[in-house]
Homo-oligomer: A and B are copies of this chain.
Amino acid sequence: MSNSPFAEWMPAVQGLVEAALARHLPGADCIPSRLHEAMRYATLGGGKRVRPLLVFAAGELTGAAPEKLVIVGCAVELIHAYSLVHDDLPCMDDDVLRRGRPTCHIEYDEPTALLVGDSLQTLAFELLAGAELGEPARQLEMLALLAHASGSRGMAGGQAIDLASVGKPLEQPELELMHALKTGALIRAAVLLGALAGQPLTTEQRSQLDRFAKRAGLLFQVVDDILDCTASTATLGKTAGKDEAADKPTYVALLGLEAARTYAEELRADALAALAVFGEKAGRLTQLADFICHRQF
């Protein structure tokens, strides 16, 4: 898989992850069946799987085995899926469309969607704790990293700042923190976790990989903000133009569209520069950063 063209590698990884998620999510025949059916609805059959792709691409830096990467990729994707289900709830973004389908609380109901998010989060940690990923001490480090990245000082904290910011200008430190946390923290975790699944990195390599991971997280968010105001709802599979309508602080609102595009290119260049230390092994991460920067959906 490691030498295939990007256009073949991407669907191959997505397919692996989809199959593994389908295997690790409890079956709809398992009690409580409605909850399990809703968990599968919210997780399977959609999504770009950007975070698992990052896990696999970063894993190539350290020669990690695909059977370990797929577990790590599933764990990160389950955290992402939980956050989408909860973010879409009426008391949060109140959204009805996700991945081109009704959101979980529309298709099922609100209490079920709440429990779906709760249970997907738990399953992420159950999966990561239960798998045999090599050294137990390394695995604990991975669990702690994923938990920190998704909790109140990570993704959920970014969501809290985002909520508080609607309709009022944020202070600059809070705005940057919000962007770094809400999407950035989990993207960064995906990169670091993928690398942790293989051979140890040197301190310098780890530092450069972290630089890449932070830039990639910001890049993803900036491009997301650009697409929110330039792409159609049909292309995105979620409601377009929503950030502006909700008066949310986005990079486009902050910088304007053209400057946001320039900023995205700068972030991409800086992310790629950080990969120099890895030489050829960083080929896949380079391609993925290009994809994240130039995607149309």
A residues neighboring B (CB under 8 Å): 26, 30-32, 34-36, 39, 82, 86, 89, 91-92, 110-112, 114-115, 117-119, 121-123, 125-126, 129-130, 135-137, 139-140, 143-144, 147-148, 150-153, 156-157, 159-161, 163-164, 174, 177
Contact = CB atoms under 8 A, between A and B. Distances in A.
A156 B91 contact: no
> Which 3 pairs show the lowest CB-CB distances between chains A and B?
A126-B147, A136-B136, A122-B151
Nearest to A25: B152
B119 A117 contact: no
A92 B82 CA distance: 18
A153 B26 contact: yes
A114 B30 CA distance: 27
Contacts of A135: 136
A31 B126 contact: no
For A136, A148, A160, A177, the residue with the greatest tally of chain B CB atoms inside 10 Å of its CB is: A160
A118 B86 contact: yes
A30 B161 CA distance: 12
A147 B159 contact: no
Copies of chain A in the complex? 2
A164 B34 contact: yes
17 contacts: A26-B152, A26-B153, A31-B174, A32-B152, A32-B164, A86-B118, A111-B163, A115-B156, A119-B151, A123-B151, A123-B152, A125-B125, A126-B148, A129-B129, A129-B147, A136-B136, A136-B139
B110 A122 contact: no
Given A129-B144, A157-B32, A174-B31, A121 B118 contact: yes
A51 to B, nearest CB: 16
A71 B149 CA distance: 20
Nearest to A92: B111
Contacts of A117: 118
A129 B143 contact: yes
Contacts of A153: 26, 30
A153 to B, nearest CB: 6
A140 B26 CA distance: 21
A114 B118 CA distance: 10
A196 to B, nearest CB: 13
Given A92-B114, A136-B139, 6 more contacts: A26-B152, A31-B161, A115-B156, A115-B159, A121-B121, A126-B147
A157 B34 contact: no
B34 A160 contact: yes
Contacts of A147: 122-123, 125-126, 129-130
Contacts of A156: 35, 115, 118-119, 122
A104 to B, nearest CB: 13
Given A35-B160, A136-B137, A152 B111 contact: no
